[in-house]
Amino acid sequence: MRKIKVAIIGAGQIAQTTHIPAFKSMENVEIVGVSDTYENVAGKVAKDFDIPFSCSSHLELLEKCNPDAVSVCVPNKFHYPIVMDALDRGCHVMCEKPPAISYSQAKEMADKAKSKGLILTYDFHFRHGTNVAILKDLIENGKMGQIYYTKVQWLRKAGVPGWGNFISKDMQGGGPLIDIGAHMLDIALYLLDYKKVSYVSAISSNLIGTKQSNGLMGSWNPEKYTVEDGLFGNIVFEDGTGIGIETTFALNMKEKDVRAVKVYGDELGASLFPLEIYSGSNRNYQAVNYPYISDGDLHNKALENFIDAIEGKEEVLVKAGEGAYIQMIIEALYKSAEKKEPVFL
């Protein structure tokens, strides 16, 4: 059996804890090399995971290892140039989310992948959950009735990441919206078939991260904090329905962490984390909870789907065009918050 040759670009935490172990567990995959701008990091990771080649340049990695596919695990700022280089060399690409730091970049990436007949997908791994699949089936089969409003949240009380580049707008393109809120937004858009947006409106703040220096996820320099603490917005579709989004790194609230996707139809309501189905707006209230359903390792599922798609066994679940679309919405939400006015798409 010919193995798919995979190269890892970026040897940080997400590569070490997720991408490399997942690929190592697949009998039909061979990791042929790893690169990182910190060559000593790449070398250590190669040694720790028994990877035969390491270097500091992704271009050298692509040239010398000639991989079939790559995982891109670098800061958001560098997604675009590295993905484009990999596509130019005929590689299928799994890229960490978000796709890029601008819609124009994400669209160009999707267009290039399409023109070359290559797979480009993103690690919006929550979409691969069994619970999400059950809820999507209920919606598609009309059990929920007409969906008129969806609310998504990923709120952290004191969850500014104290490592990496998460507080740098230049490196990441933003804060909680582009980092964690994007996951919840992707679930909602996927459930609603990524229907067309009319306009968005949002407010944001950075009043906490710029004056505090530590939290539950480490410490940071408030003078270098250039992203939002939180963003709160509305996305209105062309059919008049909408999504409300709330996402924070820091918020003065009771809970340490809140994740939720709530879907409201005229027949049933539902929420995720955990999956519950609600009925009885004008009858006796009922809730059906599915605590026994395990999603398993969603990162692994996303990476397995990527490899299976390369082998032609199934379609990739997260399409490159959908990644570009969510990037467009994220960009519009940031623009609305900055200009303090709605942004029409």
pLDDT at 284 exceeding the cut of 80: no
Token representation of residue 179:
């980092």
Domains of the chain: 4-126+300-317 (3.40.50.720), 127-295+326-344 (3.30.360.10)
Token representation of residue 303:
């990476």
- Would you state the pLDDT for residue 157? 98
Query: Cβ of 63: how many Cβ atoms within 10 Å?
Result: 11
Average pLDDT across the chain, whole number: 96
Q: What pLDDT digit, counting tens, does each position of 153-174 carry?
A: 999 999 999 998 999 999 999 9
Strand order in the sheet with 242-248: 286-289, 276-279, 269-272, 257-265, 147-156, 242-248, 230-237, 197-205, 343-344
pLDDT at 292 exceeding the cut of 70: no
Residue type present at position 242: G
Q: What pLDDT digit, counting tens, does each position of 208-254 carry?
A: 999 999 999 999 999 999 999 999 999 999 999 999 999 999 999 99
Find the range with the poorest average confidence among 33-47, 185-199, 275-289.
275-289
Find the range with the poorest average confidence among 50-64, 111-125, 181-195, 269-283.
269-283
Report helix angle 58-65 to 79-88, nearest 10.
20
Work out the pLDDT band at 296, boundaries 50, 70, 90.
Answer: confident
- Would you state the pLDDT for residue 240? 98
Average pLDDT over residues 87-94: 99
Distances in Å between the Cα of 259 and the Cα atoms of 83, 185, 243 are: 30, 11, 15
Work out the pLDDT band at 6, boundaries 50, 70, 90.
Answer: very high
pLDDT at 280 exceeding the cut of 80: no
pLDDT at 123 exceeding the cut of 70: yes
Of 308, 309, 297, 290, the C-alpha closest to 134 is 290
DSSP string, 181-200: IHHHHHHHHHHTTTPPEEEE
- Would you state the pLDDT for residue 291? 55
Q: What pLDDT digit, counting tens, does each position of 316-326 carry?
A: 999 999 999 99
Of 84, 104, 20, the C-alpha closest to 54 is 20
DSSP string, 269-327: EEEETTTEEEE-SSS--EEEE-TT-----HHHHHHHHHHHHHTTSS--SS-HHHHHHHH
